[in-house]
Structure 1
Amino acid sequence: MPKLSSTSAPATPVPAQEPLPDVGGDSQRSEPRSGWRPHDDAGHRNEVVLAGRVTAEPAVRELPSGTHLVTWRISVIRPAADQRPNQPADPITCVSFHPSIEDATRGWRIGDLVQVSGALRRRFWRSPNGSSSVIEVEARNAQRVTAAGSGHTAREPDHQPK
C-alpha cells in the first residue's frame, strides 16, 4: 500500500511490512502491507487511510434506532500525475457510529487538515426514483492534524472506539 504524503502534515513512520498470503491462482504477485491480519482464508481486506481538508463540517443525525450517525466530507488532493482537468482533488464522504468519533469531530471546521482511517462501505436505500446507493468511508479512527488557518501542527490524540 503506498504511503500517504502531504506537505502540510508531518511524516508518519511506516511499520514493518509483510507480503500478502498466497491465495492460489496464477498470480505470483506479492504486495507489502503493514500490521494487517486477514479477515478470512481468502485474504480479503477493506482498509482506508485518508488525509485531507474538511469541506463539509461534521453533522450528527439521530437514527430511528436511537444511534447517532456523524457525517462529514473531506477533500484529498490527487498527486500531480493523477490529476484530471477540473478535478485536482477527490471529495470523500466519511461517516461513523462511534460516540468517541462524534466527540472528536465536534470542533472540526472547514479547512482543518484531518486524518481518517476505516473501511469503504456501500449503503443502499429506496428513493422515489428507485434504488440508490453511495460509497462512504466508515471511520474507525479520526483526528485533526492541523486547524484551519493555523500554521502549526496541532495533532490531537487518535479517537478510537472503546
Structure 2
Amino acid sequence: AEIEMELDWARRHAHMRVHTALHLLSVVIPLPVTGGAIAAGKGRLDFDMPEAPEDREALEAALNALVARDLPVSEAWISDEELAANPGLVKTMSVKPPTGQGRVRLIRIGAGEDQVDLQPCGGTHVARTGEIGPIRLGKIEKKGRQNRRVTIHLAQA
C-alpha cells in the first residue's frame, strides 16, 4: 500500500513558534508546570502558582525581550541515568520525560552564558527565538487553589 502525506507547513510552523514560546514562558515564570496545551496561534501553561502575577505588562515585556534576543534553540541527548541524577531539569509535574529508550532529548535555548532554558522535550521547536515573533499575553485564570493558567498568543499568526 502506498501512502501520500502532505504537511501543512504554515500550521506546523505556528505550532513550533508557540511551543518554543511556552518554553520561554516557563523561564519568565520559573515555577513548576502542572499542564499545558498548544494550538496554531496560541498556547497555555498551567503553573503551581497560588497568587496571580502582579504585573502582566512586565511579564509580557520579559517574554518579548527573550524572543528579541534571537537565541539559538538546539538539542542534546543525555542518558536516562543522567536525567535521573538531574531531576531539576524537569519542569513539568504532569508529564514525565520519555525514558526507557536509553536516552532523552534535551532542548537548550541560548548557549554558554546566554543559555536561558534546558529541559527534556520531545516537541517541535524553531531554530532561533526570533522566529517566534511578537507575543501577546492572554488571560491568566485561576484553576484551583494552587494553579494559574497563563495563555499566550502569537501577535502575527
More helix by share: 2
More strand by share: 1
The TM-score normalised by the length of structure 2 is 0.22
The TM-score normalised by the length of structure 1 is 0.21
Give the structure, 1 or 2, with the largest relative contact order (CA under 8 Å, sep 6 or more): 2
Larger radius of gyration: 1
